Structure 1
Amino acid sequence: MGRVRNILVGKGHAVYSVHPDSTVYEALKVLVDRNVGALVVVDEGERFLGIFSERDYARRVILKGRASKETTIREIMTEHPITVTEDETIENCMCKMTDKRIRHLPVVDDNGRLIGLISIGDVVKYIMDEQKHIIENLECYIHGTHH
Protein backbone atom coordinates (compact mmCIF):
# COMPACT_ATOMS: atom_id res chain seq x y z
CA MET A 1 0.00 0.00 0.00
CA GLY A 2 1.20 3.46 -0.84
CA ARG A 3 1.83 6.44 1.35
CA VAL A 4 0.55 10.01 1.44
CA ARG A 5 3.72 11.18 -0.33
CA ASN A 6 2.65 9.08 -3.34
CA ILE A 7 -0.59 11.05 -3.62
CA LEU A 8 1.18 14.39 -3.20
CA VAL A 9 3.68 13.51 -5.95
CA GLY A 10 0.76 13.06 -8.33
CA LYS A 11 -1.43 15.98 -7.29
CA GLY A 12 1.18 18.39 -5.99
CA HIS A 13 1.55 20.24 -2.73
CA ALA A 14 -0.60 23.25 -3.66
CA VAL A 15 -3.22 24.04 -1.06
CA TYR A 16 -5.97 26.64 -1.26
CA SER A 17 -6.24 28.68 1.89
CA VAL A 18 -8.31 31.35 3.58
CA HIS A 19 -7.53 33.86 6.34
CA PRO A 20 -9.43 33.42 9.62
CA ASP A 21 -10.84 36.97 9.39
CA SER A 22 -12.29 36.39 5.91
CA THR A 23 -16.04 36.11 5.71
CA VAL A 24 -17.70 32.80 5.07
CA TYR A 25 -19.07 34.29 1.85
CA GLU A 26 -15.53 35.08 0.62
CA ALA A 27 -14.40 31.55 1.46
CA LEU A 28 -17.40 30.02 -0.33
CA LYS A 29 -16.43 31.95 -3.46
CA VAL A 30 -12.96 30.38 -3.31
CA LEU A 31 -14.47 26.90 -2.85
CA VAL A 32 -16.63 27.40 -5.92
CA ASP A 33 -13.93 29.10 -8.04
CA ARG A 34 -11.38 26.36 -7.24
CA ASN A 35 -13.94 23.53 -7.29
CA VAL A 36 -12.78 22.15 -3.94
CA GLY A 37 -14.61 21.06 -0.80
CA ALA A 38 -12.31 22.53 1.84
CA LEU A 39 -9.80 25.29 2.49
CA VAL A 40 -7.05 25.36 5.06
CA VAL A 41 -7.11 28.33 7.40
CA VAL A 42 -3.79 30.17 7.76
CA ASP A 43 -2.78 33.47 9.35
CA GLU A 44 -0.53 36.19 7.91
CA GLY A 45 2.56 34.15 8.72
CA GLU A 46 1.10 31.16 6.86
CA ARG A 47 0.70 29.37 10.21
CA PHE A 48 -1.81 26.52 9.93
CA LEU A 49 -4.82 27.20 12.18
CA GLY A 50 -7.52 24.84 10.99
CA ILE A 51 -9.77 23.86 8.12
CA PHE A 52 -13.02 25.19 6.64
CA SER A 53 -15.23 22.78 4.72
CA GLU A 54 -18.63 22.65 3.10
CA ARG A 55 -19.71 20.66 6.16
CA ASP A 56 -18.66 23.50 8.49
CA TYR A 57 -20.76 25.85 6.39
CA ALA A 58 -23.83 23.62 6.47
CA ARG A 59 -23.66 22.86 10.18
CA ARG A 60 -22.39 26.12 11.64
CA VAL A 61 -23.86 28.75 9.34
CA ILE A 62 -26.94 27.56 7.45
CA LEU A 63 -28.46 25.40 10.19
CA LYS A 64 -27.78 28.07 12.82
CA GLY A 65 -29.35 30.86 10.74
CA ARG A 66 -26.14 32.86 10.50
CA ALA A 67 -25.29 35.26 7.66
CA SER A 68 -22.45 34.24 5.33
CA LYS A 69 -21.41 37.83 4.68
CA GLU A 70 -21.18 38.66 8.38
CA THR A 71 -19.73 35.47 9.87
CA THR A 72 -15.95 35.04 9.85
CA ILE A 73 -14.10 31.83 9.18
CA ARG A 74 -12.54 32.10 12.64
CA GLU A 75 -16.01 31.67 14.17
CA ILE A 76 -16.87 28.42 12.40
CA MET A 77 -13.66 26.72 11.24
CA THR A 78 -12.61 23.34 12.57
CA GLU A 79 -9.64 23.99 14.82
CA HIS A 80 -7.05 21.28 15.42
CA PRO A 81 -8.23 18.95 12.65
CA ILE A 82 -6.85 15.45 12.34
CA THR A 83 -3.64 15.60 10.32
CA VAL A 84 -1.27 13.11 8.71
CA THR A 85 2.35 13.12 7.59
CA GLU A 86 3.75 12.10 4.22
CA ASP A 87 4.75 8.75 5.77
CA GLU A 88 1.17 7.77 6.68
CA THR A 89 -0.15 4.82 4.69
CA ILE A 90 -3.09 5.31 2.36
CA GLU A 91 -4.87 2.52 4.23
CA ASN A 92 -4.52 4.38 7.55
CA CYS A 93 -5.82 7.57 5.92
CA MET A 94 -8.86 5.70 4.65
CA CYS A 95 -9.49 4.31 8.14
CA LYS A 96 -9.16 7.74 9.79
CA MET A 97 -11.46 9.34 7.24
CA THR A 98 -14.05 6.59 7.61
CA ASP A 99 -13.90 6.36 11.41
CA LYS A 100 -14.04 10.13 11.95
CA ARG A 101 -16.38 10.80 9.00
CA ILE A 102 -14.10 13.40 7.49
CA ARG A 103 -13.32 14.07 3.85
CA HIS A 104 -10.07 16.03 4.05
CA LEU A 105 -6.75 15.47 5.81
CA PRO A 106 -4.18 18.24 6.07
CA VAL A 107 -0.65 16.91 5.56
CA VAL A 108 1.99 18.33 7.91
CA ASP A 109 5.73 17.89 8.27
CA ASP A 110 7.50 16.86 11.48
CA ASN A 111 7.33 20.48 12.72
CA GLY A 112 3.58 20.73 12.18
CA ARG A 113 3.91 22.93 9.08
CA LEU A 114 1.28 22.39 6.43
CA ILE A 115 2.69 20.79 3.27
CA GLY A 116 -0.44 19.53 1.52
CA LEU A 117 -4.04 18.43 1.71
CA ILE A 118 -5.57 15.16 0.60
CA SER A 119 -9.24 14.36 0.10
CA ILE A 120 -11.21 11.15 0.22
CA GLY A 121 -11.36 11.43 -3.58
CA ASP A 122 -7.56 11.44 -3.76
CA VAL A 123 -7.40 8.34 -1.56
CA VAL A 124 -10.02 6.44 -3.55
CA LYS A 125 -8.36 7.38 -6.86
CA TYR A 126 -4.99 6.17 -5.59
CA ILE A 127 -6.45 2.84 -4.46
CA MET A 128 -8.29 2.36 -7.76
CA ASP A 129 -5.14 3.14 -9.78
CA GLU A 130 -3.14 0.74 -7.63
CA GLN A 131 -5.71 -2.04 -8.11
CA LYS A 132 -5.80 -1.44 -11.87
CA HIS A 133 -2.02 -1.77 -12.01
CA ILE A 134 -2.13 -5.05 -10.04
CA ILE A 135 -4.84 -6.45 -12.32
CA GLU A 136 -2.86 -5.52 -15.45
CA ASN A 137 0.25 -7.22 -14.07
CA LEU A 138 -1.71 -10.35 -13.18
CA GLU A 139 -3.26 -10.47 -16.66
CA CYS A 140 0.20 -10.18 -18.23
CA TYR A 141 1.47 -12.95 -15.97
CA ILE A 142 -1.46 -15.24 -16.82
CA HIS A 143 -0.98 -14.65 -20.55
CA GLY A 144 2.78 -15.13 -20.33
CA THR A 145 3.57 -11.58 -21.43
CA HIS A 146 5.00 -10.50 -18.06
CA HIS A 147 8.49 -9.05 -18.39
Structure 2
Amino acid sequence: MKTLKQLLADKPKTLAVAAPDDSVFQALCVMAEYNVGALLVLQDGKLVGIFSERDYARKQIRNQRSSKETPVRDLMSARVAYVGIDATLEECMSLMTEKRFRHLPVLDDQGQVLGILSIGDLVKETISAQQFLIGELERYITS
Protein backbone atom coordinates (compact mmCIF):
# COMPACT_ATOMS: atom_id res chain seq x y z
CA MET A 1 0.00 0.00 0.00
CA LYS A 2 1.23 3.50 -0.78
CA THR A 3 2.45 5.89 1.89
CA LEU A 4 0.89 9.32 2.45
CA LYS A 5 3.91 10.86 0.74
CA GLN A 6 3.25 8.74 -2.36
CA LEU A 7 -0.48 9.54 -2.32
CA LEU A 8 0.20 13.27 -2.09
CA ALA A 9 2.75 13.03 -4.92
CA ASP A 10 -0.01 11.65 -7.17
CA LYS A 11 -2.30 14.61 -6.46
CA PRO A 12 -2.19 18.01 -8.19
CA LYS A 13 0.53 20.25 -6.75
CA THR A 14 -1.73 23.30 -6.45
CA LEU A 15 -3.87 23.27 -3.31
CA ALA A 16 -7.36 24.68 -3.27
CA VAL A 17 -7.31 27.26 -0.48
CA ALA A 18 -9.21 30.22 0.91
CA ALA A 19 -8.38 32.99 3.34
CA PRO A 20 -10.52 33.61 6.42
CA ASP A 21 -11.64 36.98 5.05
CA ASP A 22 -12.62 35.66 1.61
CA SER A 23 -16.34 35.62 1.00
CA VAL A 24 -18.14 32.30 1.14
CA PHE A 25 -19.18 32.95 -2.46
CA GLN A 26 -15.50 33.24 -3.49
CA ALA A 27 -14.69 30.02 -1.64
CA LEU A 28 -17.54 28.17 -3.35
CA CYS A 29 -16.25 29.39 -6.72
CA VAL A 30 -12.77 28.02 -5.90
CA MET A 31 -14.32 24.70 -4.86
CA ALA A 32 -16.17 24.54 -8.18
CA GLU A 33 -13.05 25.50 -10.15
CA TYR A 34 -10.95 22.76 -8.52
CA ASN A 35 -13.85 20.30 -8.30
CA VAL A 36 -13.25 19.68 -4.59
CA GLY A 37 -15.51 19.40 -1.56
CA ALA A 38 -13.32 21.31 0.88
CA LEU A 39 -10.78 24.12 1.03
CA LEU A 40 -7.93 24.60 3.43
CA VAL A 41 -8.23 28.00 5.09
CA LEU A 42 -4.79 29.57 5.37
CA GLN A 43 -3.67 32.78 7.00
CA ASP A 44 -0.04 33.82 6.58
CA GLY A 45 0.69 30.32 5.29
CA LYS A 46 -0.66 28.62 8.40
CA LEU A 47 -3.70 26.35 8.56
CA VAL A 48 -6.45 28.10 10.54
CA GLY A 49 -9.46 26.11 9.39
CA ILE A 50 -11.17 24.05 6.76
CA PHE A 51 -14.26 25.04 4.78
CA SER A 52 -16.35 22.24 3.32
CA GLU A 53 -19.59 21.77 1.46
CA ARG A 54 -20.98 20.42 4.73
CA ASP A 55 -20.03 23.64 6.55
CA TYR A 56 -21.88 25.63 3.91
CA ALA A 57 -24.94 23.38 3.84
CA ARG A 58 -25.33 23.24 7.61
CA LYS A 59 -24.26 26.70 8.72
CA GLN A 60 -25.24 29.10 5.94
CA ILE A 61 -28.94 28.37 6.45
CA ARG A 62 -28.69 29.90 9.95
CA ASN A 63 -26.76 32.90 8.65
CA GLN A 64 -28.77 36.03 7.98
CA ARG A 65 -26.36 37.30 5.31
CA SER A 66 -25.79 36.29 1.71
CA SER A 67 -22.80 34.18 0.65
CA LYS A 68 -21.23 37.26 -0.92
CA GLU A 69 -21.36 39.12 2.41
CA THR A 70 -20.32 36.26 4.69
CA PRO A 71 -16.61 35.70 5.35
CA VAL A 72 -15.30 32.14 5.31
CA ARG A 73 -14.23 32.51 8.96
CA ASP A 74 -17.91 32.61 9.97
CA LEU A 75 -18.66 29.16 8.52
CA MET A 76 -15.32 27.30 8.52
CA SER A 77 -14.43 24.59 10.98
CA ALA A 78 -11.64 26.12 13.07
CA ARG A 79 -10.75 22.96 14.97
CA VAL A 80 -9.05 20.92 12.28
CA ALA A 81 -7.85 17.38 12.77
CA TYR A 82 -4.72 16.64 10.77
CA VAL A 83 -2.01 14.03 10.41
CA GLY A 84 1.73 14.04 9.86
CA ILE A 85 3.38 12.60 6.77
CA ASP A 86 4.27 9.38 8.64
CA ALA A 87 0.65 8.44 9.42
CA THR A 88 -0.64 5.24 7.86
CA LEU A 89 -3.64 5.06 5.57
CA GLU A 90 -5.37 2.96 8.21
CA GLU A 91 -4.79 5.67 10.84
CA CYS A 92 -6.19 8.29 8.47
CA MET A 93 -9.30 6.26 7.68
CA SER A 94 -9.85 5.49 11.34
CA LEU A 95 -9.61 9.17 12.31
CA MET A 96 -11.93 10.24 9.49
CA THR A 97 -14.47 7.57 10.39
CA GLU A 98 -14.33 8.31 14.12
CA LYS A 99 -14.63 12.08 13.71
CA ARG A 100 -17.06 11.83 10.76
CA PHE A 101 -15.35 14.09 8.23
CA ARG A 102 -14.20 13.51 4.66
CA HIS A 103 -11.10 15.70 4.25
CA LEU A 104 -7.84 15.45 6.17
CA PRO A 105 -4.91 17.88 5.94
CA VAL A 106 -1.37 16.53 6.08
CA LEU A 107 1.15 18.77 7.85
CA ASP A 108 4.90 18.57 8.32
CA ASP A 109 6.69 18.86 11.68
CA GLN A 110 6.76 22.67 11.41
CA GLY A 111 3.00 22.89 10.80
CA GLN A 112 3.29 23.62 7.09
CA VAL A 113 0.58 22.14 4.90
CA LEU A 114 1.83 19.36 2.64
CA GLY A 115 -1.55 18.51 1.15
CA ILE A 116 -5.04 17.28 1.81
CA LEU A 117 -6.53 13.81 1.45
CA SER A 118 -10.15 12.94 0.88
CA ILE A 119 -11.86 9.78 2.00
CA GLY A 120 -12.13 8.99 -1.73
CA ASP A 121 -8.33 9.09 -2.07
CA LEU A 122 -7.97 6.62 0.78
CA VAL A 123 -10.72 4.28 -0.40
CA LYS A 124 -9.31 4.26 -3.94
CA GLU A 125 -5.85 3.30 -2.66
CA THR A 126 -7.27 0.64 -0.35
CA ILE A 127 -9.21 -0.95 -3.21
CA SER A 128 -6.14 -0.83 -5.44
CA ALA A 129 -3.99 -2.51 -2.79
CA GLN A 130 -6.61 -5.18 -2.17
CA GLN A 131 -6.95 -5.90 -5.89
CA PHE A 132 -3.18 -6.29 -6.14
CA LEU A 133 -3.14 -8.68 -3.17
CA ILE A 134 -6.01 -10.73 -4.60
CA GLY A 135 -4.18 -11.00 -7.91
CA GLU A 136 -1.00 -12.15 -6.18
CA LEU A 137 -2.92 -14.74 -4.14
CA GLU A 138 -4.68 -16.04 -7.27
CA ARG A 139 -1.34 -16.38 -9.05
CA TYR A 140 0.11 -18.21 -6.06
CA ILE A 141 -2.83 -20.61 -5.84
CA THR A 142 -2.85 -21.42 -9.58
CA SER A 143 0.91 -21.87 -9.92
The 5-angstrom pairing of residues 47-126 of structure 1 reads 47-126=46-125
Deviation at 1:105, TM superposition (A): 0.4
Match of residue 29 from structure 2:
29
| CA deviation map 1:54-95 (0-9, x unaligned) | 011011112444411110001111113000011111111111
Quote the Cα distance in structure 1 between the aligned partners of 2:2 and 2:65.
Answer: 42
Structure 1 range deviating more: 134-143 or 102-111: 134-143
Residue identity matched to 1:86: I
Match of residue 3 from structure 1:
3
Moved over 4 A (4+): none
Quote the Cα distance in structure 1 between the aligned partners of 2:4 and 2:93.
Answer: 11
Q: Given that residues 46 and 111 in structure 2 are in contact (C-alpha distance below 8 angstroms), is that contact kept between their aligned partners in structure 1?
A: no
Match of residue 143 from structure 1:
142
Residue identity matched to 2:119: I
Gaps of 5+ in 2: none
Deviation at 1:13, TM superposition (A): 4.6
Q: Given that residues 18 and 40 in structure 1 are in contact (C-alpha distance below 8 angstroms), is that contact kept between their aligned partners in structure 2?
A: yes
**Count of residues paired in the alignment:** 143
Match of residue 128 from structure 1:
127
Structure 1 range deviating more: 57-66 or 104-113: 57-66
Aligned partner of residue 30 in structure 1, secondary structure = helix
TM-score (norm 2): 0.92
Quote the Cα distance in structure 2 between the aligned partners of 1:98 and 1:35.
Answer: 23
